[in-house]
Amino acid sequence: MDSIKFISLFSGAMGLDLGLEIEGFNPSICVENNEEAINTIRLNRPNLPILNDIYTVSAQQLRSISLIEGDIPLVVGGPPCQSFSVFGKRDGIESTNGKLLFEFFRIIDELRPQTFIMENVRGLLSMPVIPKKNNKNGQDINSEYYSKGSLLKLLFNKFNDIGYHIDCFIVNAVNYGAPQIRERIICIGNRFGLDANFPLPEFSNRIEDNLPPFKTLGEVIGQGFVDHCPEVLNFSPRKLKYLAMIPPGGNWRSLPLEIQQESMGKSWYLKGGRSAYWRKLSFAFPSPTVVTLPNHAGTSMCHPSELRAISVGEAAAIQEFPQTWKFSGNTTAKFRQIGNAVPIRLGIVSGKTVKDLLFRINQGERDTTQSVEGYRIIHLRPHVRTRSYWKNGKALAGDISYYENNQQINLFELENNVYERS
């Protein structure tokens, strides 16, 4: 089967694109403005054309340079998500990054591809068009624009207006074989009125699901792992002092009360679990979401058996980048690219979904029962809990499962790669 050409927008370090390549797709052109990411693309794909300004790129340019004849099968992209993350400032489309969401829409409108994939953070689901805090002058603006989720509704309606049906899947990479807990929304659009068939979860940590267990950190960076990029953004001596007191699989809850308060300062009084504070990873569970700065106290990604943050090579392995993939820039730049990347696994599953959709389109299948207008939002077990850090007044460390009544379990046997339950 010939590879299927596609156009990549907001390509970053090409995580989504690499997953699609595994499924038989072939990027014909990338649009990316981050210099470090551009250099990474050139380092690994020297013959791949790159444009660097999404605001000025035109459909005519993309068609001409990509050399795709006839209908464009697929356009993909993950518009920068900082404006929509629940951890960001949440300035929505009033920020520069928020406006990029509608640049993606513009390109789809101009190119009219058969299908598209738009990836983003889950926080986009609840984002209003205009945050209420920004209406300081009591301006007369449609009140719906301040409601939770109005931004995505506006975007979907705009896609519907130009003839695209949208399926929005809220998923977690770990459910599909990634060694990482990472929630994302995958929006798949097509102009033929067809429903996309995203697979149901294929792995689980619940026995009743009767599925293979989650892939663990130990399977990826445990015994036998060869680190091709051991660069580290390490913790400060002060942070290392506290992390030295944390057992594998523990966090700030494992510290004595007075040390908790001393080490966390005002953060100790905040509400919520703060589970990533002084967190030491465990080989027996999937990795938490890979972040751009693994050496922050509040988003700590401390190696399970070594007193240091995870390395560039380890972070890339968790995201399932090929070992041959090289990242350009200094250590900070490399972590930024890896942390912002779409997990390769979600690219693979999205590719399978779109490949099925394109097959049906090429077979002449069309929706004959309803208008192409419309959208679906489907949750596929996106919120996954794997372990507990605190229960019944006790701090929990080690290999403690969130399910199975929090009994001690051994999910990963390092020596022979066999899963066991005790």
Distance CA 330, CA 332 (A): 6
Contact 190, 114 (CB under 8 A): yes
**CA distances, 240 to each of 283, 297, 307, 411 (Å):** 20, 10, 7, 28
Helical H runs in 251-409?
A: 257-264, 312-318, 331-340, 344-362
Phi, psi of 263 (to 5 degrees): -80, -30
Distance CA 305, CA 338 (A): 22
Q: Give residue 196's region: left, alpha or beta (phi > 0; psi -120 to 50).
A: beta
Tokens of residue 302, six digits: 């401390």
| Rounded CA Rg of the chain | 22
- Which residue out of 81, 168, 229, 302 is catalytically annotated? 81
Measuring CA to CA, which residue among 119, 129, 114 is closest to residue 164? 114
Measuring CA to CA, which residue among 350, 342, 283 is closest to residue 314? 283
- Please confirm, yes or no, whether 81 is among the known catalytic residues: yes
Q: If you write DSSP's letter for every residue of 293-306 in order, what string do you get?
A: -TTSGGG--B-SSS
List of E strands, 154-255: 165-172, 183-190
Q: Which residues are catalytic?
A: 81
